[in-house]
Amino acid sequence: MERGREETRRIQAFRNAAAVILPLPADEVVARAEAGTLTQLSGIGPSTAGVITDAVHGRLPDRLAKLEAAFGPLVQGGDEVRARLRGDLHSHSDWSDGGSPIEEMAFTAIELGHDYLVLTDHSPRLTVANGLSVARLQRQLGVVDAINEHLSESQFTLLKGIEVDILDDGSLDQTDEMLAQLDLRVASVHSKLRMDAAPMTKRMIGAIANPRTNVLGHCTGRMVMGNRGTRPSSDFDAKAVFEACVEHDVAVEINSRPERRDPPTKLLELARDMGCLFSIDSDAHAPGQLDFQQYGCERAHAAGIDADRIVNTWPRERLLEWANPQR
Ligand SMILES: [Zn+2]
Ligand SMILES: [Zn+2]
């Protein structure tokens, strides 16, 4: 449902029901399914109860069967690029404005075959997205360590990251001490998107020149569709910005969210011609959205971008060395 971008409210009903059922002892769930009393639990309605009852009886729930029957590629093309991807550098959990716990994001990334996922919740100034203070980010790093300990048998690593706001003056919205503790940092503009071109260019280059920055997130900030409405690209000197990316070894993000499609094709081709590195990111705010990467892969393929220039085709060690040259 998340992958198909169904209504958040309907998805949330299933996620809430799962959260209610998960901590209960199995025999209680079975007894309630038999007695028809699942709906007495707060957060479980008739349709989620039906799904749970089917599952208890070992039956494939109709709802799931229908979704699986409709399952197909999100977009045609880009399969070779997708096959080369080893991970995803941009994702959110319910610690900021995502809809699911960190571990659910990690489990889904494992199912998708990723070797790594970078958790990049928002930074403090983005209060609408519940951005993480120093203290909360510090706590989150402990949770990431604990999850990785649980997953130590697998090939997969959850990496520590941030989507850090680029402030008006080009500085980054987190302390350097915290940024230094992370594995990878995506820097994005989320405020004053309509700034004049000259100060916006300066602002973006300031962030790119920061030695902590690894990825320039959704560079134009545009919205091409969706329930948040549309908005145009920010004005900036793209040539100067991409030049700075090359100089400072910062990857230009191909943001795969269908409502963003950022950068637009002309800019994507400009960045390609200027020799930029790229990352193809889902910017997932829910586990099912991690699959959005397919959209970005199709665009990278259409633009003829060599897979070796896409940093998330690299093995984890190479990625970490690139992202942390000062270590
Ligand atoms: Zn963002
Ligand atoms: Zn994001």
Any idea what the CATH number is for the domain that residue 188 is in?
3.20.20.140
Give the distance (Å) from ligand 2 centre to CA of residue 163: 6
35 & 112 share domain:
no
Pick the ligand that lies closest to the CA of residue 96.
Answer: 2
Residues of the domain holding 16: 8-69
172 & 129 share domain:
yes
65 & 45 share domain:
yes
Give the distance (Å) from ligand 2 centre to CA of residue 259: 13
141 & 177 share domain:
yes
Give the distance (Å) from ligand 2 centre to CA of residue 281: 9
55 & 132 share domain:
no
What's the domain count of the chain?
2
Give the distance (Å) from ligand 2 centre to CA of residue 59: 37
Would you tell me how many other CB atoms lie within 10 Å of the CB of residue 206?
A: 19
Give the distance (Å) from ligand 2 centre to CA of residue 284: 7
Backbone angles phi, psi at 249, to 5 degrees: 60, 40
pLDDT for the residue 299 = 98
pLDDT for the residue 28 = 96
Give the distance (Å) from ligand 1 centre to CA of residue 188: 6
What's the average pLDDT block by block, 10 residues per block, for the chain (327 residues)? 87 91 95 96 94 95 89 92 98 94 96 97 95 98 97 94 98 98 98 97 98 98 88 97 98 97 98 98 97 98 98 98 93
Full-model pTM: 0.94
pLDDT for the residue 93 = 97
pLDDT for the residue 263 = 98
Query: Is 218 domain-assigned?
Result: yes
Pick the ligand that lies closest to the CA of residue 219.
Answer: 1
Give the distance (Å) from ligand 2 centre to CA of residue 91: 6
Query: Is 2 domain-assigned?
Result: no
Give the distance (Å) from ligand 1 centre to CA of residue 218: 7
Query: Is 1 domain-assigned?
Result: no
Give the distance (Å) from ligand 1 centre to CA of residue 283: 7
Contact 156, 110 (CB under 8 A): yes
Contact 235, 196 (CB under 8 A): yes
pLDDT for the residue 38 = 97
Give the distance (Å) from ligand 1 centre to CA of residue 75: 23
* DSSP labels, 160-197: EEEEEEB-TTS-BSS-HHHHHHSSEEEEE--S-TT--H
Give the distance (Å) from ligand 2 centre to CA of residue 35: 44
pLDDT for the residue 226 = 80
**Cis status, amide bond into 263, omega within 30 of 0:** yes
Give the distance (Å) from ligand 1 centre to CA of residue 285: 10
Query: What is the CA 43 to chain-centroid distance, rounded?
Result: 27
